[in-house]
Structure 1
Amino acid sequence: MKAAGFLGNYFKLTGRFSRNAKLYLLATFLISVGFSFYGVLFNLYLTEGGLQEGIIGSILSLSGLALVITAIPAGILSDRLGRKKAMIIGTLSGALLSIFRALTVNGPGLLSLSFLGGVASTLYVLSAAPFMMESSRPEERTHLFSASFAVMLAAGIAGNLLAGGLPGWVRNVFGGSTFTAYRFSLLLGSGIFLTALWPLFKISQTPIINDKSGLISLKRLGQGFRAAGGFVWCNFWIGLGAGLVIPFFNLYFAKRFGASSSQIGLYFSVSQIFTLAAVLVGPALAKRFGKVRTVVVMELLSLPFLISLGAEKILYIAVLSFWMRASLMQMSSPISSAFMMEIVPDDARATVNSIATMAWNLSWTFSTAFSGWAMQRYGYAMPYYLTAGCYAVSAVSFYLLYNKKEPGR
């Protein structure tokens, strides 16, 4: 009865979302489906086009570097333009750049396109959370943020399955090479991405922030750095480990096990389902055992599965390890973020979140570039062992820094 009452209340509140919020969720779904095509196929497309892991790692890393460099200017631009215009510019630019990326396998050109795509993504991402705040009432805000996350997961499930199966269908129906099938599929994904402009244009503009100074308070920035120190340290190690393996999972299954794009799409989709289930269970565990302990235990439990991925030669065990690693780490991520928001001062939350995000992306950028080079020369095992080490450092650090600081514990 309690579960039924909870679900009934949840859907009742989601039904009351503003028109702006519903249009935003539709746009998020379409963008996420489009991105899924690139998550499954882009690396396979590049390798089929003759590029090796070293240059692929450099291409992938530049989108993270763009976020680090442009996060603060993009936030200011979002405040100046308003969320609607900022999200439209980010979406239009991102969709067009994804089309260009699907039309070339020129290394230097893809490096430039990846960086510019990261800039466009940053403008959209940094506008999304403030837009949801401005488009919701306090009593429904948590549900809107949760709904946004659920929509992205659902889009990922659908997009991964579609992207994985489409190249084989294209070859069977139209013939042609695997490379051409990948290119067609990526262009279709870009087209889906582009359709997100329709709901965004129908959104009503939210109030534009009028900060005449145009400057960030140095005092506030300093307070943010002091409050964020521990989180920056932990996020740095998580980002460092994530960048070593996450961008290359499709190549890992394709090259080590000879998996097809349809198999990879299926593995990714099931991973999203596991992740959704884990995220729903996470709050109950955090309430029972505490946020810090839940985060630490989930991160430590993921380590054996990372080591298994590095050493494994049997496909079904590697796939199970892939699903378990994703579930455990994704379960800990929102709990860690919620804990961070609880213990930092109210007026420093946005700054702390930006700094911690920049730390994650900075380390992710460098480790992705390194990992592509390492995989090309030494194979796929070493990065997984290094990631396990990085996650262990983060988990132990998080416990030592915050175990005694959790409210009510």
Structure 2
Amino acid sequence: MELLISILHDILGFKRFPRDAKLLIISSIVMSFTQGYMFVDFSIYLSQVGYNTYLIGIVLSVPTFLGALFMIPMGHLSDMYGRKRFILMARLFSFIGATIYFLTYNLILIIIAGIFQGIAFANASSSYNALMAEKTTPQDRNLIFASNSFLSGMAQAAGMFYGSIPPIIGHIYHLDVFTSYRVLFLTSIIGLLISTLLILRVKEDYSGNRKGNMKFFDLFHFPEKSKGTIIKLSVLGMIGLGAGIIVRLFSLWFYLKFHVNVDVLGPIFSVSQIVTAFASITTPSIARKIGEIRTIVFTEALSVIILITMPFLPYYYLAGIFLIVRNFLMNMSGPIMTSFTMSIIPEDERARGSAIIQFFDSLPRSFGPYIGGFFMSLGYIDLPFYFTGTLYSISIGLFYLFFRNVKIPK
């Protein structure tokens, strides 16, 4: 562990970061590696073991829907009792889900695994950003969030490349589809154990903000001080829905449209993620020059133009290039968006605020794969692109309208 930290010391000023921020970043690196190959491979794996696109959409929708459902109460509880314990709980649920994937591809059990993954997402998503914000100052927050995004993105790229292994080892050792993919699920189990050990070493200073006589339905209330801001940020839900409709099914779209397997798609998505990771470390300097809001709006708007042209491309390698450019533009503003939202929400409401913001994103996103899979099952495999482009455009316009004059507290 110390060796890994020493290797990273000279990257992005990593040496200057607080110890706990380093541990959180390394934990994120490990988890991002596993998420990389799951993003590319899982939908194609489900198709190859016999499920149609409609059922695949349902399987992909379950964890996101449950994550959204539990996100707000978990955010409240995280603000009340501290963030670390909820991240550890998330790792436990993810471990159970990954173990089920490793053991079977039975549809019911895969959906049950998705339930565990959704609860894990709800526990970790709001708590992680709030805990990371605690370990930063307003002066270094942009850099640390950008560095975390960069290093996690590089790990995700490595995971996407690693995801090209199953058909290769299946061919060499004459394995069936399920057996050849088990190496990925075993890797997820190992990664979760490593991540858990890293989180256990983090010292949490925030002791919680317990309120007396809190009732169950109080867990779903909006934070008082940041209520107006959070309601405005609900426009990001349209991006969530659009992303669910096609982004989660990108690899499946390539597989159906161009008949290319994960041994080809893995490297394409890996390169895309590497480029995106490097893009994320450029955004702090861009934001200092033109401002956070303009950086977010400009890059995301350009990505929409690229997205809606992809269905017209005749070859997979051209679509792959456009995918790389689209992901570069759409995701490079991610750390700035996270830093911006964490900065305009008071510290004692950050977990709840983050949870509600992600709820607005995740709930509509959870229906997206179902919608996209339904269109694809009818043969309209390009239609999700146009729905997504429209939703993105509306969301970006409203975000600029609401926040163009907002100044981040120093």
TM-score (norm 1): 0.86
Work out the CA distance in 2 between the residues paired with 1:192 and 1:343. 33
CA 1:343/1:172 → structure 2, altered by over 3 Å: closer, same or farther?
Answer: closer
Distance 1:202 1:286 in 2: 33
SS of the residue 1:102 aligns to: helix
Cα drift, residue 387 of structure 1: 0.7
The runs of 5 or more residues in structure 2 that have no matched partner are: 1-7
The alignment partner of 1:374 has SS state of: helix
Per the TM alignment, residue 189 of structure 1 is displaced from its structure 2 partner at its CA by 3.1
Task: Tell me by how many angstroms 1:361 deviates.
Answer: 0.7
CA change 1:342–1:358 in 2 (3 A) is: same
Aligned position for 1:230? 232
Provide, for residues 24-53 of structure 1, a one-character-per-residue CA deviation record: whole Å limited to 9, x for no partner: 333222222122231122112111111111
Separation in structure 1 between the aligned mates of residue 12 and residue 326 of structure 2, nearest angstrom: 34
Alignment of 1:180-329 (within 5 A): 180-204=179-203, 206=205, 208-209=207-208, 211-213=210-212, 215=214, 221=223, 223-233=225-235, 235-329=236-330
SS of residue in 1 equivalent to 2:226: helix
Q: Determine the C-alpha separation between the residues in 2 that align with 1:334 and 1:195.
A: 24
Distance in 1, matches of 2:97 and 2:219, equals: 34
DSSP 3-state at the match of 2:384:
helix
Q: What secondary structure is seen at the aligned counterpart in 2 of 1:378?
A: coil
For 1:68 and 1:143, the matched residues in 2 are separated by 28
Question: Structure 1 residues 345, 116: CA separation in 2 closer, same or farther (over 3 Å shift)?
Answer: closer
Say which is worse superposed, 351-360 or 199-208, in terms of deviation: 199-208
| Matches of 2:82 and 2:291, distance apart in 1 | 38
Equivalent AA in structure 2 for residue 69 of structure 1: L
Shift of 1:381: 0.2
Q: Residues of 2 paired with 1:196 and 1:377: CA distance?
A: 41
Q: 2:51: which partner in 1?
A: 51
Between the aligned partners of 2:210 and 2:352, the Cα distance in structure 1 is: 16
User: 1:319 Cα deviation (Å)?
Assistant: 0.6
Deviation at 1:79, TM superposition (A): 4.9
Which residue does the alignment assign to 2:29?
A: 29
CA distance, structure 2, for counterparts of residue 159 and residue 218 of structure 1: 36
1:61 aligns with 2:50: no
Note the C-alpha offset of 1:188.
2.9
Q: Deviations over 1:77-108 (max 9, x none)?
A: 44566444332221122022112023333323
Cα deviation, residue 241, structure 1:
0.9
Which letter does structure 1 place at the counterpart of 2:233?
Answer: F
CA distance in 2, matches of 1:60, 1:34: 16
What's the counterpart of residue 177 of structure 1?
A: 176
- C-alpha separation between the residues in 2 aligned to 1:179 and 1:219? 44
Output the CA distance in 1 between the equivalents of 2:219 and 2:185: 43
Partner of 1:144: 144
Sort the Cα spacing of 1:120 and 1:336 in 2 relative to 1 into closer, same or farther, 3 A: closer
Q: Does 1:366 align with 2:367?
A: yes
> Deviation of residue 352 (structure 1)?
4.1
Q: Structure 1 CA distance, aligned partners of 2:191 and 2:9?
A: 32
Query: Displacement, 1:67?
Result: 2.0
CA contact (8 A) 2:20 2:203 kept: yes
CA contact (8 A) 2:79 2:352 kept: no
SS at match of 2:260: coil
Which residue identity does 2:196 align to in structure 1? L
> Relative to structure 1, is the Cα distance of residues 157 and 390 closer, same or farther in structure 2, using a 3 angstrom cutoff?
same
Q: Distance in 1 between matches of 2:379 and 2:213?
A: 48
Cα distance, 1:182–1:299 mapped onto 2, change above 3 Å: same
| Cα deviation 1:324-368 (Å, max 9, x = unaligned) | 111111123333444445666777655443322211111111222
Partner of 1:168: 167
Equivalent residue number for residue 5 of structure 2? none
Q: For residue 3 of structure 2, what is the aligned residue in structure 1?
A: none
**Cα deviations across residues 170-222 of structure 1 (Å, max 9, x unaligned)?**
22442222332123333333333333233234444655325142645999635
Task: Check whether the contact 1:93–1:117 (CA below 8 A) recurs between aligned residues.
Answer: yes
Distance 1:190 1:250, change over 3 A: farther
Is 1:375 the equivalent of 2:376?
A: yes
For the aligned residue pairs, the C-alpha RMSD in angstroms reads 3.1
CA contact (8 A) 1:10 1:143 kept: no
Query: C-alpha displacement at 1:376, in angstroms?
Result: 1.1
> What count of residue pairs does the alignment treat as equivalent?
399
CA distance in 1, matches of 2:149, 2:389: 26
Asked whether the equivalents of residues 33 and 193 of structure 1 are also in contact (C-alpha less than 8 Å), the reply is no
State the distance in 2 between where 1:53 and 1:217 align.
Answer: 36
Q: Which moved more, 1:350-359 or 1:323-332?
A: 350-359
Please tell me the residue identity of whatever aligns with 2:331: Q
- The structure whose residues are more often helix, as a share, is 1
Q: Which moved more, 1:42-51 or 1:293-302?
A: 293-302
Judged with a 3 Å threshold, the aligned counterparts in structure 2 of structure 1 residues 47 and 84 are, in CA distance, closer, same or farther, namely same
Asked if structure 2 preserves the Cα contact closer than 8 Å seen for 1:13 and 1:140, the reply is: no
Q: CA–CA distance in 1 between the matches of 2:200 and 2:351?
A: 27
Residues in 1 aligned to 2:166 and 2:221: alpha-carbon distance in whole angstroms: 53
When structure 1 is superposed on structure 2, of 197-206 and 9-18 the one drifting more is 9-18
Aligned counterpart, 1:3: none
Quick one: distance in 2 between partners of 1:218 and 1:78?
A: 13
Q: TM-score, normalised by structure 2?
A: 0.86
Match of 1:5 in 2: none
Kindly indicate whether the alpha-carbon contact (under 8 Å) linking 1:14 and 1:143 is maintained by their aligned counterparts in 2: no
The amino acid across from 1:230 in the alignment is: K
Shift of 1:250: 1.3
Q: Could you say if the C-alpha distance between residues 37 and 391 of structure 1 is closer, same or farther in structure 2, counting changes exceeding 3 Å? A: same
What is the deviation of 1:237?
A: 1.3
The 3 A distance-change label for structure 1 pair 192 and 101 is same
Alpha-carbon distance between aligned partners in 2 of 1:332 and 1:193, rounded to the nearest angstrom? 27
Once the two structures are superposed, residues 147-174 of structure 1 have per-residue CA deviations (whole angstroms, 9 ceiling, x without a partner) of 322221121121111121x213422442
Residues 54, 124 of structure 1: alpha-carbon distance in 2 compared, 3 angstrom cutoff: same
1:126 paired residue number: 126
Amino acid at match of 2:176: S
Which is worse superposed, 11-20 or 45-54?
A: 11-20
Q: What is the aligned partner in structure 2 of residue 88 from structure 1?
A: 88
C-alpha distance in structure 2 between counterparts of 1:407 and 1:200, whole Å: 29
User: Residue type of the partner of 1:312?
Assistant: L
